[in-house]
Structure 1
């Protein structure tokens, strides 16, 4: 939707070439104002920003409101720029965009400024922020964009600093300089205790003091030894934050958690009416908000959708897939590889909207949430009929009002939102930390539960932790040493986890490995944990031990659980045992024992046993039912809460 007539705007442009070979990046740039903007003169409210997809040459162009725009309130607001080049460094920084109405401003002209709350200008980017700040500290004066597109440059800038270090040997000259103040001390002799000192060098007579000592360190010139590298992490004499009285950085605390009674609750407003038709022709007069990347036609505009749980959204290669987007942030990282679970959010004041999707199969499902509450507890059928065809899902909310809409989807190519005339759509910010689950089919879903990974324990735990950015990175059949049809955990983290920088990561696997070599499991776990800790030092991590679908686990399962606990303690990661319910902190110390997650030996369809297995475990004897996933989400949340800092 264009800006109201007369709104002062500038055009922000830029290009992100790779530092290797100069080739263009693909990816997204997200622009978000620090607050809701009000334009009283034109009776407009701008609650959020938007995103723009890089063109084939790595460039972009987008119309934005400058920070010094006349008539825009409140004063002092700022833009947050989130550069997300696929395969490159992600950098997030605050900046001010200035320019006369109609002017063009280039991204490489922008400089980072402190956030509205005073925190440093560069906010995020796995290792990126620290690298940029180090470059600036050593004399680099370029912009964030110049640094991002030429990472080798800032490293060179540090060279002069090394040369300055070579002047260190001039230190001995400083000793001679100190002799002047020594003379002044002689003059103070009559004031008291210093009086008896003249015999050491005739201070009373005003002559130079001669230091009498056999200690060679007082007479031999020495070059000072730099200790930064030895005291750094991994050095010969590392200093921990605790050693100097600093508190360890934590991302999420118990005090940050939402009310558990309402976090996973259902929507209590008027129930929306939802219907699906096999067509891609919207109601007459409706305006299309297309996903970024989809070509526009006629009155179409690119919608400012806020994606959650995934990134690197692309269109399909051939028609009709060129009208739809899917993410590529889950192994094996292709459009057609089953990027099953993700979400989108947006704000709208429409009473009715139409959602375009491509129907794949009965696995094509969705769940609607309104103002942070689920309309249905489980994922529901998309209502599609013919596989491969486009459909419109019409949602009637009953009345026109400003609302926050969330749609969780699985196996669901997304083709945009259609709104009636006069209605608006705007971007909304995500809430809480970025929560990620690295796992197998317990995380990714199976036939025993509804809605694949959007219906497992993980989605519920994310809501109970207060996160709207839930990344379900599970693949069935995989594990620490077991690749299944995909790849092992260790082979997946470089593309599935690390580039996406989760704030809180839960690692749950081992069941598919338990009949293998314990030494191999141990080595793989040690390598995985070490890699994650080095790449994501600020991320809160929790390891969940080996799953047992019965209350009488085999020896191989208990052994695998013990192996993972040992390696988690060695890596300094808290551990929870599903077998015993024991919760261990980062040092390996027992913090709490909540009891086994699964009791009894039954399963759905078998005679009822003493325990919860007969309702929590599906008929395949391994995977949880919907009831089981609900129960597991409560147990996992309780365990993580017990291990969180207060």
Structure 2
């Protein structure tokens, strides 16, 4: 209407309450039903008579239809430009936001009553992995190799569920272009919206994964924490080597938010970085953190945000790590954001008041190469002396979940 303007704002999410969280015994548990049989074949030809449900954007032919898929953890799906890439989609929702190097950690989810389904994908390299979830439970704890071995090849995972029944199916994907799902005649497929709000982890390789853990970002603390908090739409927005003032091979956190965070409007956001910055100027780190927090709060006023301090892979952090942790704690307090310290387990509310002290996340010296260390670092830290193992990420997920839960009203 002339003379009037309307601002579109996102309704603030209902604050998390402890009473609403899922039971931790089952939230991260394995699927208790009959184990599915999964086989891989290097072919894009489905079983005769099966119908194709293609990803949005992929050209249709014959009886093909566009599938009612949700894609938790990712957005901006696009097809590639060079054959056979136009038959597959990848999300562009993480820096540098290209088909070849965008969001590698995401998921495809749908409902079906089929007893057997075929999942089409393109194998890139050994980083191409998957994890099947059935009715909200993992079929395996860790991500799995597909069994393919030919770079660039089209493949089909055939999943035999053993019986016809309505189920919620999810494929967690790592470095996996998605080409659609094939179902037998008579089987139905439907959309299953994600639950628990959009949860995002923004940071470095502690979130994005390393060679120390299985399945890249699907094997870090982040996806486990998302399950423990009941969040199905989990966006892993880490980039290894990056930080508040350190771009690494990508960009600083501030330079990434305009494409990687803000347009995707998370309901809850965990910011964890600083380790790659710790040898730099503390005043520069503090200024960058203040700018980042202010930018995020201004752009996402309805988002609940949490800052995690500087990582230490040993129980005896260097002075530069302690200083960086203190710098980030001060910046978070100034921005009135909750702060969680890995160094002493301190959990601070937005006013900077200590809510609880859980103790240091990492104890002991850790194992470097073949040298055995002490404390939990011996099993939680990989042989590179910095990054967590699968065991370490599982432990960190419990610590981070406990810290966030401590900040929730009952």
Instruction: Tell me if both proteins adopt one fold, taking TM over 0.5 as the criterion.
Output: yes
The aligned counterpart of 1:278 is: 42
With a CA cutoff of 8 Å and minimum separation of 6, indicate the structure with the bigger relative contact order: 2
Determine if the alignment matches structure 1 residue 343 to structure 2 residue 107.
yes
| Rounded Cα–Cα distance in structure 2 between residues aligned with 1:510 and 1:336 | 27
Give the Cα–Cα distance (whole angstroms) in 2 for the partners of residues 608 and 436 of structure 1.
35
* Match status 1:518 vs 2:282: yes
Per the TM alignment, residue 499 of structure 1 is displaced from its structure 2 partner at its CA by 0.7
1:587 is aligned, of 338, 344, 351, to 351
How far apart are residue 337 of structure 1 and its match?
1.0
- Per-residue deviation at 1:606? 4.2
Q: Could you tell me how far apart the structure 1 residues matched to 2:318 and 2:31 are?
A: 42
In the alignment, structure 1 residue 494 sits paired with structure 2 residue 258: yes
Q: 1:621 to 1:283 in 2, by over 3 A?
A: same
Q: 1:331 to 1:495 in 2, by over 3 A?
A: same
Q: How does 1:394-413 map to 2 (within 5 A)?
A: 394-413=158-177
Q: Kindly indicate whether residue 22 of structure 2 is the aligned counterpart of residue 158 of structure 1.
A: no
Contact 2:91–2:102, Cα closer than 8 Å, also in 1: no
Q: Is the 8 A contact 2:206 2:220 kept in 1?
A: yes
Q: CA deviation at 1:433?
A: 1.4
Query: Quick one: distance in 1 between partners of 2:376 and 2:18?
Result: 28
In the alignment, does 2:376 pair up with 1:612? yes
- The one-character-per-residue Cα deviations of 1:320-346 (angstroms, maximum 9, x if unpaired) are 000000001101111111421001110
Q: CA deviation at 1:251?
A: 3.3
1:327-366 equivalences under 5 Å are 327-366=91-130
Q: Is the 8 A contact 1:603 1:616 kept in 2?
A: no
Tell me whether 1:600 sits opposite 2:364 in the alignment: yes
SS where residue 29 of structure 2 aligns? coil
- Name structure 1 gaps, 5 residues minimum: 1-139, 141-155, 160-247
Instruction: State whether structure 2 residue 321 is matched by structure 1 residue 475.
Output: no
Does 2:273 align with 1:427? no
Matched with 1:201 is none
Instruction: Give the drift of 1:610.
Output: 3.4
Q: Match of 1:312? A: 76
CA distance in 2, matches of 1:542, 1:262: 25
**Aligned equivalents of 1:296 and 1:456: distance in 2?**
36
Distance 2:366 2:69 in 1: 45
Match of 2:57 in 1: 293
Question: Does 2:170 correspond to 1:414?
Answer: no
Q: Secondary structure at the match of 1:480?
A: coil
SS at 1:157 equivalent: coil
Please list, as runs of the form range in 1=range in 2, the aligned pairs for 1:43-122 lying within 5 A after superposition.
none
User: Equivalent of 1:253, from 13, 17, 20?
Assistant: 17
Shift of 1:494: 1.0
Residue 575 (structure 1) aligns with: 339
Give the total of aligned pairs: 405
Q: Distance in 1 between matches of 2:143 and 2:13?
A: 36
Would you say 1:550 and 2:314 are equivalent positions?
A: yes
Q: CA RMSD in A?
A: 1.3
Aligned partners of 2:208, 2:147: CA distance in 1, in Å?
Answer: 22
SS at match of 1:438: strand
Decide which structure has the larger Cα Rg and report it: 1
Task: Report what 2:389 is aligned to.
Answer: 625
Q: Secondary structure at the match of 2:320?
A: helix
Contact 2:13 2:303 in 1 (8 A): no
Task: Summarize deviations over 1:4-41 as a string: whole Å, max 9, x none.
Answer: xxxxxxxxxxxxxxxxxxxxxxxxxxxxxxxxxxxxxx
Q: Which residue of 1 aligns with 2:405?
A: 641
Q: Within 1, Cα distance between the matches of 2:174 and 2:144? A: 10
The answer to whether the 8 A contact 2:93-2:102 is kept is no
After TM superposition, give the deviation of residue 541 of structure 1 in Å.
Answer: 0.5
User: Which aligned pairs between 1:184-223 and structure 2 lie closer than 5 A?
Assistant: none
> Which residue does the alignment assign to 1:529?
293
Q: Is the 8 A contact 2:313 2:366 kept in 1?
A: no
Worse-superposed segment, 249-258 or 317-326: 249-258
| Cα displacement (A) at 1:570 | 0.4
What is the TM-score when the length of structure 2 is the normalising length?
A: 0.97
Q: How far, CA to CA, are the matches of 2:61 and 2:197 in structure 1?
A: 37
Q: What per-residue deviation string (whole Å, max 9, x for no partner) do you get for residues 579-611 of structure 1?
A: 000000000001100000000002265444431
CA distance in structure 1 between the partners assigned to 2:249 and 2:375 by the alignment: 33
Q: Secondary structure at the match of 2:384?
A: coil
Superposition misfits of 4+ residues, deviation over 3 angstroms? 248-251, 604-610
- 1:383 partnered with 2:147: yes
TM-score (norm 1): 0.62
Asked if the contact 2:245–2:277 (Cα under 8 Å) also holds between the matched residues in 1, the reply is yes
Question: d(CA) in 2 for partners of 1:157 and 1:443?
Answer: 47
Q: CA deviation at 1:256?
A: 2.0
Distance 1:645 1:506 in 2: 18
User: Following the alignment from structure 1 to structure 2, what is the Cα–Cα distance between the partners of residues 604 and 427?
Assistant: 47
